Amino acid sequence: MMWTVLIATSALSLAIKWFGHAVPERWLANARLQRINALVPISLLSALVVAQGLVVKTHVVLDHRIVGLLAAVAALFAKAPFPVVVVVAAVSSAVVYHWH
Amino acid sequence: MGTENWKLRAEQHFRQNERMPTTRSQTFRDALSVSLTVGAYGVAFGAASVAAGFSVLQTCLFSLLTFTGASQFAAVGVVSSGGAGASAIAAASLLATRNALYGIQLAPLLRVKGLRRLAAAHLTIDESTGVALSQVARGPDAMRAGFWLTGIGVFVFWNIFTLLGAVGAKALGDPASWGLDAAVPAAFLGLVWPRLTTMRLRVVAGASMVFALVITPWLPAGLPIIASVVVAIGFGWST
């Protein structure tokens, strides 16, 4: 399955990128399509935050990861750069994981 | 990769240098600073991918062949949450659609055909498009240079740092023991955070999180992530 995901994701990503360079501009000029497209990354990335941080399989689970996420939120409010946010989350989550 | 930090930084940088003579070296500096910044995200991706169960080779091929950060993160994210392969591919592709819109803006500027068009398409990502568009006052030559320099620069650093992150994560072992299982959602949060520039966008993000959590018990793993697109459609449908 890993190889399938890798190959299909790569092929589709390149096809989508190439499509943008090849089609006439008016094809994707629809205002509604552009509005939705601008929001899609926000919805997907937001869903990925909770799916990765608060879910195990199909259950909502609050464990050590939530501490890491809250620490990340604090770091982001403090305007920390991306690497700091990730490291702060990892360290605080790992501390709680071992402490338990 | 995928953040909009660089956009602000590039704009600020550009404003500060507005009165300076228009030179190729300023475009080069913009491209280089963006390319280096992206390296940190490459480390995070490499680690996340290995933590999700991909091999170091697969992880490196992801960055070489897919080369669009948010999509790569999404694909390995869905896999690590136990989702089906099809869900991972769909989530990654949905995130890649914005690259098509970038291509539409870039095509009249680059005017390339054949293999060069394929290369331009592969390098069409947030960063290369952003730097190209931020050079507008310096003219089309600077815009083209900004696109190619940033695209190639990010490609080089993104792949080097992916390898470092993957090898590093492999050496660390148990993801939870080192907090990698929290680092991955934190990385997603770090990717979405700079995009939430208005209250409306924050509402969309919050609604997507709540929606994904609420439907989690009723759908197979990974599907709630893709289903959250419903929220984007709902908010984007009307102005």
For B76-117, how does the pLDDT look when each residue is reduced to its tens digit (9 = 90+)?
Answer: 999 988 889 999 999 999 989 989 988 988 998 999 999 999
User: Is B76 within 8 Å of A6 (Cβ atoms)?
Assistant: no
Instruction: Provide mean pLDDT across the span B193-197.
Output: 92
Per-chain mean pLDDT for chain B: 87
State yes or no: pLDDT of B205 exceeds 70. yes
Say what angle helices B114-122 and A2-22 make with each other, to 10 degrees. Answer: 120
Q: What does the pLDDT read at residue B176?
A: 81
**Structure-block tokens of residue B49:** 């991918």
- Residue recorded with tokens 């660390």: B172
**CB-side exposure of B109: number of CA atoms within 13 Å?**
25
**Residue B25: CB partners within 8 Å, gap ≥ 6?**
none
Span A65-87, pLDDT tens digits: 999 999 999 999 999 988 899 89
Which among A10, A61, A44, A16 is positioned nearest to B58, based on CA atoms? A10
> Å from A41 to nearest chain B CA?
6
**Residue B183: CB partners within 8 Å, gap ≥ 6?**
A68, A86, A87, A89, A90, A93, B44, B47, B48
Which among B94, B63, B88 is positioned nearest to B1, based on CA atoms? B63
Span A7-60, pLDDT tens digits: 999 999 999 999 999 988 777 778 898 899 889 889 988 998 999 899 988 899
Q: What does the pLDDT read at residue A24?
A: 83
Q: Does the beta carbon of A23 lie under 8 angstroms from any beta carbon of chain B? A: yes
- B-chain residue closest to A94, CA distance: B179
* Percentages of chain B per state (helix, strand, coil), in multiples of 5: 80, 0, 20
d(CA A62, CA A67): 9
Evaluated on CA atoms B165, B170, B173, B175, the torsion sign reads positive
For chain B, the farthest-separated pair of C-alpha atoms sits apart, in whole angstroms, at 60
Please list the alpha-helical segments (H only) found in B52-139: 56-61, 69-80, 85-110, 114-122, 126-134
Q: What does the pLDDT read at residue A14?
A: 97
Contacts of B185 in chain A (CB under 8 A): 48-53, 65, 68-69, 72, 89
Which among B132, B140, B128, B149 is positioned nearest to B14, based on CA atoms? B132
Q: Does the beta carbon of A2 lie under 8 angstroms from any beta carbon of chain B? A: yes
Measured at the alpha carbon of residue A4, what is the angle toward residues B151 and B63, in degrees to the nearest 5? Answer: 20
Contacts of A37 in chain B (CB under 8 A): 97-98, 101, 236
DSSP A65: H
Binary contact (B192, A49; C-beta < 8 A): yes
Best of A1, A4, A14, A16 to substitute, by most chain B Cβ atoms within 10 angstroms, is A16
Phi, psi of A4 (to 5 degrees): -60, -45
Which among B178, B107, B117 is positioned nearest to B143, based on CA atoms? B107
State yes or no: pLDDT of B161 exceeds 90. yes
Closest Cβ–Cβ partner in A2, A52, A60 for B77: A52
Which residues numbered 83-112 in B keep a CB inside 8 Å of some CB on A?
85, 88-89, 91-104, 106-108, 110
User: Is B191 within 8 Å of B73 (Cβ atoms)?
Assistant: yes
pTM for the model stands at 0.80
Q: Does the beta carbon of A30 lie under 8 angstroms from any beta carbon of chain B? A: no
Burial class of residue B5 (count of CB atoms within 10 Å of its CB; 0-12, 13-18, 19+): middle
Domain positions in chain B? 5-194, 196-239
The end-to-end CA distance of chain B, in Å, is 29
CA distances from B180 to A95, B62, B78 (A): 12, 19, 15
Which amino acid, A13? S
Phi, psi of A55 (to 5 degrees): -125, 140
Q: Is residue B67 within a helix (H) or strand (E), and if so which, with residue range?
A: none
